[in-house]
Amino acid sequence: MSEDQVSSRLGRRGFLGSAATLGAVAGSPALLAACATGGGGTPTGTENKPTPAVSESADNPFGVDPKAPLDVVIFKGGFSDEYAKYHQTMYKKRFPDAAVKHTGTQDITPQLQPRFVQGSPPDVVDNSGAQALDTTTLATTGQLTVIDDRFLDAPSLDFEGKKIRDTLVDGALDQLTIEGKVYGLPYALNINGIWHNAALFEKNGWEPAKTWDDLMALGVKTKAADLPLWTYQGQYPNYMVTVFAAMVTKHGGNDVMKNIDNLEDGAWSQDAVKAVAEAFFELKSKGYIMRGTASLTHVQAQAQWASGKAAIIPCGSWLKSELGSQLPADFKMAITPTPSLDAGDKLGYEAIPYGTTESFVVPSKGKNVNGGLEYLRTMLSKEAAQKFAELTYTLTVVKGAHDDQDVDTVLKSSLDAYDAAQAAERIQPWRYTGWYVPMKDDIEGAMGQLLTGNLDANGFVARAQKVADRVKKDPKIKKLSR
């Protein structure tokens, strides 16, 4: 390229070029919209009842057309998508004439949003991960098949004589229940707790803390051993919001988080919220959080913990699957519930939040809705659930599927924690994180500030309340309640 060309290239034309590049970013919603608003819009039906293609039978309760192709999109994240391929083989075995199309991706929204707008969504979507579609909006605009009695009363695939509803753990469908209706099947059952290396704890004679005082005492001991007590997924303080909400619920009862979810006035000034915020501030001010934690990604923080740079890390039961080969051989991962704040806690120490992830939905405008439901029925079989647990070290919502499974020790630790929790009152899942994403983001940011000492407990509470008030007043955001 001659010098003349170089300089002329960056004249006005260069400017227009860069303006267009900017437009590609600035106008990306608009670009998508180009295909949306251009064509004639079909009116949004509120609920499309799927019609059976062939007559329904015990073997084929939804009347699936055996020849109809099935289009499955799986979120290929921490759990990968091997388990789904297995589930598809199971489906294929029963409907050999059906072509099953598998897509494993992390870009759920970029790939599927245009398809929803055009009215040609896939038949089954594992709507998960950072790029997940907004389920609430999809549900309230009638884009998802309602999981009703027709599905729940259908016979289980391999639990003899049981209906599907009898094979689900308590609260399995809570996460996808919106205003009393169920819009999908959350599949993985994650226990959210605090992880430690049992081998290290045994060697030093430490005990996992059952109360906050225990934890502070443990902090003194680990400090003496030159080991920071605590680290967390620094850039994602939401992991700590999970610990926070669990401790708040255990301390003040389920109504506390319920008030927060329902955007009640002054919900964040409730005593239990303040008390736990004080405790978190203490964790920071006593220097028990590993230095530099706040700037670590979740991968970096978890790797630091696995290499013995901190004693404790909060995480869900997917941690082993996510750590993969980073886990040293002599490491004994074990999960425990969050500590009780004090003796006055309303819920027992054993109470542990178990949440469901991997939201499988059946779009109502898919071509093979019955096939989609049948795929979910397949996933709820014992065989499918065990395969999932075997591949991901994570339990499923299928009740009793894992009891007789030759489980891995980490899976066993989750199962024990889950079983123990059955004795205590259940921590109901808090919902604002899914309902009001802007509020989730802002409170996550405030949590980061509390844990780095830039906000004290009162500052955190005041800021969270301000955010909640703003969301409450925002007419653009649809309000939900539980």
Partner 1 sequence: MRKGRWPFIITFLTPPLALYLVFVLSPFIQGVQISLTDWTGLTPTFNYVGLQNYISLFQDAEWWHAVSNNVKLLIVIPIVTLTFSLVLAALLTRGGTGGARSGLAGSKFYRVVYFFPQVLPVVIIAIMFQFIYAPQGGLLEKFLSWIGIDMLSIIPNGPLGNQGIILWAIAFVAIWAGVGFFMVLFIAGMQQIPRELFEAAAIDGASRTRMFFHLTLPLLWGHVQTAIVFIGIGTLDMFGLLSVMARNGLSADSGADVMATQLYRTAFQGNSLFGYASAMATMLLIFSLILAVVTFRITRREKIEY
Residue that the structure tokens 């437009």 belong to: 23
Name residues whose C-beta falls within 8 Å of residue 129's C-beta, 6 or more positions apart in sequence: 75, 77, 106, 108
CB 55 within 8 A of CB 370: no
DSSP tag of 165:
G
Residue of the chain from 171, 234, 339, 353 that contacts partner 1 (CB under 8 A): 234
Cβ contact 333:198 at 8 Å: yes
CB of 437 to partner 1, least distance (A): 5
Does 78 contact partner 1 by CB under 8 A? no
Q: Does 462 bind partner 1 (CB under 8 A)?
A: no
Q: Cα separation of 349 and 215, whole Å?
A: 13
> Does 22 participate in binding partner 1 (rule CB under 8 A)?
yes
x/- map, 280-309, partner 1, by CB under 8 A? -----------xxxxxxx--x---x----x
Q: Is there a contact between 62 and 370 (Cβ–Cβ < 8 Å)?
A: yes
Q: Which of 48, 103, 111, 235 binds partner 1 (CB under 8 A)?
A: 235
Smallest distance from the beta carbon of 178 to partner 1, in angstroms?
13
| SS3 category, 273 | helix
Residue 109 makes contact with partner 1 by CB under 8 A: yes
Task: Name which position in 204, 400, 441, 481 contacts partner 1 (CB under 8 A).
Answer: 441
What residues between 392 and 431 interact with partner 1 by CB under 8 A?
A: none
By the rule CB under 8 A, 45 interacts with partner 1: no
Find the shortest distance in angstroms from Cβ 287 to partner 1.
Answer: 12
**Rounded to the nearest whole angstrom, what is the least distance from the CB of residue 258 to partner 1 in the complex?**
20
162-170 long-range contacts (CB < 8 A, ≥24 apart) are 164/377, 164/380, 166/399, 167/380, 167/398, 167/399, 167/400, 167/401, 168/380, 168/397, 168/398, 168/399, 169/397, 169/398, 169/399, 170/426
CB 226 within 8 A of CB 234: no
Which residues ranging from 118 to 157 are in contact with partner 1 (CB under 8 A)? 119, 130-131, 133-134, 136-138, 141, 143
CB of 472 to partner 1, least distance (A): 14
Determine, following the binding rule CB under 8 A, whether residue 180 of this chain makes contact with partner 1: no
> Is residue 326 part of the contact set for partner 1 (CB under 8 A)?
no
Q: How many residues bind partner 1 (CB under 8 A)?
A: 76
Task: Examine residue 61 and tell whether it contacts partner 1 (CB under 8 A).
Answer: no
25 touching partner 1, by CB under 8 A: yes
Q: Which stretch binds partner 1 (CB under 8 A): 30-38, 65-73, 244-252, 423-431?
A: 30-38
Q: For partner 1, which stretch binds (CB under 8 A), given 42-50, 55-63, 333-341, 397-405? A: 42-50
* Per CB under 8 A, 437 contacts partner 1: yes
17 vs 3, 21, 24, CA distance in Å?
A: 19, 6, 11
How is residue 237 annotated by DSSP?
Answer: T
Does position 246 interact with partner 1 (CB under 8 A)? The reply is no
The length of the chain, given as a count of residues = 482
Burial of residue 179 (CB within 10 Å: 0-12, 13-18, 19+) is exposed
